[in-house]
Structure 1
Amino acid sequence: MSTPNVTVVRACLRGGAGGSPTAVVLEDDGDGPPPGDDERRRIPLAWGTSHAVYVRHAGDATKLRFFTAEGELPACGHGTVAALALLAAQYGGAGPYRATLRAGGRVFAGRAEQAGALFTAAFDPGPVDLREPAGEERALVLAALGLAPAQAGPDIRIAGVGRERILVPVPTRAALAALRPDLDRLRTACDRFGLLGAYVHSYPSPAGTLAARMFAPSIGVPEDLANANSAACLVAHLAGRGIHRIAVDMGDALGSPATITATTGPDLRVELGGTARVLPEQPARRLA
């Protein structure tokens, strides 16, 4: 099965470069019936991306579905940024492109605006659920990450936007860069507790900048180049400490720097943002 309507969008760039390559499929523009879910899982592999997002207009909203090689996800932040950028490129006019999006059982607003070759996108990822980890969750995940209890900060949290993940602070960017997790052990721990993965982050600077790495072997992504929904989880947690805006650097360990912004308002509603580049048209590839 060929997929001529796949466009690769590099989402959550830093300084106009890097970012997370994401396969975006505008299913309304296809020449035939949309792919089945098995084909949707194979498209990220065929196009060399960790994630794919499928876009279909449905009444007054635009429906998004997100897949990795392991299966469907209820939400994907950088996939939403990529979809908004391509929608703005295809259908946007002179001003900001605005869309009502439907994904994971919820309806939310998104927008994107073009500036030269780049698109700046933002959206509401939805409410964030936060809780303390159980002792076993904390112990097994830290062991899989190769961290002794004293090497992680006290503010470990379980947080969810669509699906729970564990937030693990480490004191410095150097400590973050030095992580060499046991991915098999981490997958076992995450599968046991139903976690998406482990989002390990440095402490924010006074200006709200920090670095993070997301390890998600349970969804077929050993390390994610950019994980925007985890940034939403983190800023919701940090709001309790008076930090309402962060800029998260990711992807450096993988050679593709990415940055995600996350902001909370007085009502603790989160807005995620990122910059994207729509890559030139590429020849269709055949799925294995």
Structure 2
Amino acid sequence: MSAPDATVVRACLRDGAGGSPTAVVLEDDAAAPSPGVEERCRTAVALGTSHAVYVRRAGDAAELRFFTAVGELPACGHGTVAALALLAARHDGAGPFRITLRAGGRVFAGRAERHGELITAAFDPGPVDLREPTAQEHALVLPALGLTPDECGPDVRIAGVGRARVLVPVATRARLTAMRPDLDRLGAACDRFGLLGAYVYSAPSPGGTLAARMFAPSIGVPEDVANANGTACLAAHLAGRGIHRIAADMGDALGSPATVTATAGGDLRVDVGGVARVPTQ
């Protein structure tokens, strides 16, 4: 399959490099026939990316739909960053680019601003639902990750924005780097509980810098280069501990360093985003 209208945007760069390659397809002609889900899923595979986002623009708004090789997702944070970056790059107006986005049954605001060849994009992913895991979730997910309850402590949480995932703390970046989860077991556990995957993170510095890895085999993504919605969930969780802004370094285990930033208020509302690069035409 070819995807001639697709652009591969690198979302959530770190220091201008790396990032998550994301296929973005602009469907500006509302009268054109829309491809089916299977064809959209093949877009990411054809372009060698983990995710593809289809964007249908209508005036000052745009509808986003997200796909991996195995199906459609209700939300994708780095896909939203990539879509915003491409829309901003195609925008002729001066100043920051702002647009109303629709995805997964939600309507929310997105914005982007150019800084030379880079574009900073951010959006409101919606309120975050947080709860403690059940005993069964705890008992199945942690061993699949190769972790013990003592390593993670009492701060494991189930967090939802778009779709629930488990947030799992580890003490150090070194422990995070050394992780080798059993992806088959993890996928089975996540399928059983309806979880997107496991977002594992190191203890944040006083300034909110941390490292994270997102494992999501159930959706065909063994490990995500950058996971913005997971970072938004973590920001909401850490806000209850007095840390309101975080920068999560991701992608190092995949050879593509990425950083996602998120700022949380006291009402579990979050602003999340990153820096992207759109290829020149």
Aligned-partner residue type, residue 269 of structure 2: R
Alpha-carbon distance, 1:58 to partner: 3.6
Residue 95 (structure 1) aligned with residue 80 (structure 2): no
Query: Displacement, 1:42?
Result: 0.4
Provide the identity percentage. Answer: 78
- Cα root mean square deviation, aligned: 1.4
Match of 1:264 in 2: 264
- The alpha-carbon deviation at position 149 of structure 1 amounts to 1.6
Distance in 2 (alpha carbons) for counterparts of 1:123 and 1:31? 28
Maintained 8 Å contact 1:153/1:171: no
Kept after mapping to 1: 8 A contact 2:251/2:258:
yes
Task: Tell me how far 1:32 sits from its aligned partner.
Answer: 5.0
What CA deviation, in whole Å up to 9, does each residue of 1:94-133 have, x standing for no partner?
2100000000101000000111110000110000000110
* 2:277 counterpart SS class: strand
Q: In the alignment, what sits opposite 1:75?
A: 75
CA contact (8 A) 1:153 1:168 kept: no
Residue 23 of structure 1 and its aligned partner are, at CA, apart by 0.1
- Shift, 1:93, TM fit: 2.1
Q: Provide the residue aligned with 1:172 in structure 2.
A: 172
Counterpart code for 1:35: P
- What does residue 6 of structure 1 align with? 6
Matched residue of 2:196: which SS? coil
Deviation of residue 31 (structure 1)? Answer: 10
Residue of structure 2 equivalent to 1:227: 227
Q: TM-score, normalised by structure 1?
A: 0.95
Aligned twin of 1:197: 197
How many matched pairs?
Answer: 281
> 2:21 matched to which residue of 1?
21
1:163 lines up with 2:194 in the alignment: no
User: 2:240 touches 2:266 (CA, 8 Å); kept in 1?
Assistant: no
Question: Could you tell me which residue of structure 2 aligns to residue 284 of structure 1?
Answer: none
Question: 2 CA distance for matches of 1:71 and 1:84?
Answer: 22
User: Do the aligned partners of 1:235 and 1:263 also contact (CA within 8 Å) in 2?
Assistant: yes
Contact 1:5 1:30 in 2 (8 A): no
- Report the Cα distance in structure 1 between the residues aligned to 2:268 and 2:131, rounded to whole angstroms: 16
1:116-265 alignment, distance < 5 Å = 116-265=116-265
SS at match of 1:33: coil
Q: Distance in 1 between matches of 2:153 and 2:205?
A: 15
Q: Structure 2 CA distance, aligned partners of 1:23 and 1:280?
A: 15
2:38 maps to a residue whose letter is: D
Q: CA deviation at 1:274?
A: 0.3
- 3-state SS in 1 of match to 2:142: helix
Is 2:248–2:260's contact at 8 Å kept on the other side of the alignment? yes
TM-score norm. by structure 2 comes to 0.97
For residues 47-62 of structure 1, the aligned pairs below 5 Å read 47-58=47-58, 60-62=60-62
Aligned-partner residue type, residue 158 of structure 1: I
**DSSP 3-state at the match of 1:236:** helix
Deviation (angstroms), 1:60: 4.6
Unpaired stretches in structure 2, ≥5 consecutive residues: none
Instruction: Report deviation, 1:63.
Output: 0.2
* Aligned partner of residue 78 in structure 1, secondary structure: helix
